């Protein structure tokens, strides 16, 4: 049985003892629940902690905002009468006013194990604010549902953004608690940082490979609907920087891609021709879908769904970032003039293409657009980044 950080904090009085007499704040979202599905805010108040403030990340404490760049307001919690501060509203970083409301901040966020998932950046920002204001930060650790594998290019200097907190690959293979320790070390933060570790967590164990099979999945953000999405996300998130639909407005967002003018069988054949090894570990299926909102709203789209699940799933072989890059490359090969890259402000970056902001450099896009490039060229760019990160992260691993 796996106990998450919140479960241990509630079950073990000695873990809570340092919080006695302290004002405690909670950074949480809808997936911040205990084993019995009680929200962490309710559980912490019931345990007798003096919860003096709540913070909400992107999509809000309640997770009610669907798309990116939709801001949440501050408000007063109607049940407990404490202030709820949005870290995706007028500010991204905690203000001095909000930092004055607590002594210890408990971070209880379900992450997806991907650099672009903004809860990662929010963690860095609260650590930096805590260092500045002399506050303590405890991460109540939760699983990385994408597991330990590492994949993707490292973010390049100058490409930092709200979806790029630091120089590590797209798929980082750490829990939020482990990544927080890396942040403290890498950015030389003088902060009182602690991780309430999970017990019984085996990130390489079947069938979940990062997600304990006995735990119920709750969306940490509106479009993170299941484990298949979490596994595919390090690749499918790149679709946000394209004119292809990532399935927003359907019941399976970020598990598929398509457009009205796409020919899925052609694309899959070209993917198999270019880099058959990059298709390993999952199954692809031709699909048709009609988004009810977002890109290609109301239009019949033809596309490809990624199944990183069932008996066709191989956790160690599956490489979602390369798989999605291969989809882009195949479309470019088949249709050189295809309007692939979406030009719009992405997470408040106005002077860079969204696909480049997402990848932390222009290298992926340049590989796709270069008609002479081959699969091996992307591997040659990416493998040194992956190998370096795998080595750098070793001392921060808390779970075998």
When mean pLDDT is compared across 51-60, 70-79, 256-265, the lowest value belongs to 70-79
- pLDDT in the model for residue 62: 66
SS (HEC) of the chain: CCECHHHHHHHCHHHHHHHCCCCEEEEECCCCECCCCCEHHHHHHHCCCCEEEEEECCCCCCCCCCCCCCCCCCEECCCCCCEEEECCCCCCCCCHHHHCCCCEEEEECCCCCECCCCHHHHHHHHHHHHHHHCCEEEEECCCCCCCCCCECCCCCCCCCECCECCCCCCECCCCHHHHHHHHHHHCCCCCEEEEECCECCCCCCCCCCCCCCCCCCCCCCCCCCCHHHHHHHHHHHHHHHECCECCCCCCCCCCEEEECCCCHHHHHHHHHHHCHHHHCCCEEEEEEECCCCCCCCCCCEEEEEEECCHHHCCCCCCCHHHHHHHHHHHHHHHCCCCCCECCCCECCECCCCHHHHHHCCCHHHHHHHCCCCCHHHHHHHHHHHHHHHHHHCHHHCCCC
- pLDDT in the model for residue 143: 98
Mean pLDDT value of segment 338-342: 97
- pLDDT in the model for residue 155: 98
What are the residue ranges of CATH 3.40.50.12170 in the chain? 5-221
- pLDDT in the model for residue 89: 84
- pLDDT in the model for residue 65: 52
Q: What is the pLDDT of residues 359-380, one digit of tens each?
A: 999 999 999 999 999 999 999 9
pLDDT at 61 over 90: no
pLDDT at 328 over 90: yes
- pLDDT in the model for residue 182: 98
Mean pLDDT, all residues of the chain: 95
Mean pLDDT value of segment 318-328: 98
What is the third-level CATH fold of 227-369? Answer: 3.90.1150
Give the pLDDT band (50/70/90) at residue 345: confident
What is the third-level CATH fold of 5-221? Answer: Rossmann fold (3.40.50)
pLDDT at 63 over 80: no
- pLDDT in the model for residue 71: 60
pLDDT at 70 over 70: no
pLDDT at 56 over 90: yes
Q: What is the pLDDT of residues 157-169, one digit of tens each?
A: 999 999 999 999 9
pLDDT at 69 over 60: no
Give the pLDDT band (50/70/90) at residue 64: low
Share of the chain above pLDDT 90, in %: 92
Q: What is the pLDDT of residues 191-206, one digit of tens each?
A: 999 999 999 999 999 9
């Amino acid at each position: 049985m796996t106990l998450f950080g919140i479960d241990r904090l509630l079950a073990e009085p000695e873990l809570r003892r340092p919080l006695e007499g302290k004002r405690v704040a909670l950074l949480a979202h809808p997936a911040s629940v205990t084993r019995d599905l009680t929200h962490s805010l309710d559980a912490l108040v019931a345990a007798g902690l003096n919860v003096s403030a709540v913070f909400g990340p992107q999509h809000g404490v309640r997770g009610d905002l669907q798309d990116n760049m939709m801001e949440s307001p501050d408000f007063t919690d109607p049940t407990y009468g404490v202030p709820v501060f949005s870290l995706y509203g007028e500010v991204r970083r905690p203000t001095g006013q909000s930092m004055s409301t607590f002594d210890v901040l408990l971070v209880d966020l379900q992450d997806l194990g991907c650099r672009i998932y903004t809860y990662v950046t929010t963690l860095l920002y609260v650590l930096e604010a805590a260092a500045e204001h002399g506050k303590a930060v405890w991460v109540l650790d939760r699983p990385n549902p994408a597991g330990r594998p590492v994949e993707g290019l490292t973010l390049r200097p100058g490409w930092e953004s709200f979806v790029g907190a630091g120089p590590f690959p797209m798929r980082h293979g750490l829990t939020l608690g482990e990544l927080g320790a890396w942040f403290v070390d890498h950015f030389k933060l003088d902060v009182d940082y602690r991780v309430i570790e999970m017990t019984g967590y085996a990130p390489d164990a079947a069938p979940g490979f990062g997600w304990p099979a006995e735990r119920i999945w709750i969306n940490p953000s509106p479009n993170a609907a299941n484990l298949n999405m979490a596994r595919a996300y390090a690749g499918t998130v790149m679709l946000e920087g394209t004119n292809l639909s990532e399935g927003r407005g359907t019941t399976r967002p970020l598990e598929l891609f398509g457009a009205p003018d796409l020919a899925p069988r052609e694309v899959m054949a070209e993917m198999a021709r270019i880099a058959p090894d990059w298709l390993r570990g999952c199954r692809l299926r031709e699909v048709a879908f009609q988004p009810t909102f977002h890109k290609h709203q109301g239009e019949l789209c033809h596309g490809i769904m990624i199944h990183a699940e069932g008996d066709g799933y191989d956790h160690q072989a599956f490489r979602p970032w390369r798989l999605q890059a291969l989809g882009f490359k195949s479309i470019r090969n088949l249709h050189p003039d295809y309007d692939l890259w979406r030009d719009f402000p992405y997470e408040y970056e106005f002077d860079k293409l969204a696909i480049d902001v997402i990848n932390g450099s222009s290298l992926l896009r340049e590989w796709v657009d270069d008609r002479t490039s081959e699969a091996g060229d992307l591997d040659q760019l990416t493998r040194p980044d992956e190998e370096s990160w795998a080595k750098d992260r070793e001392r921060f691993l808390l779970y075998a």
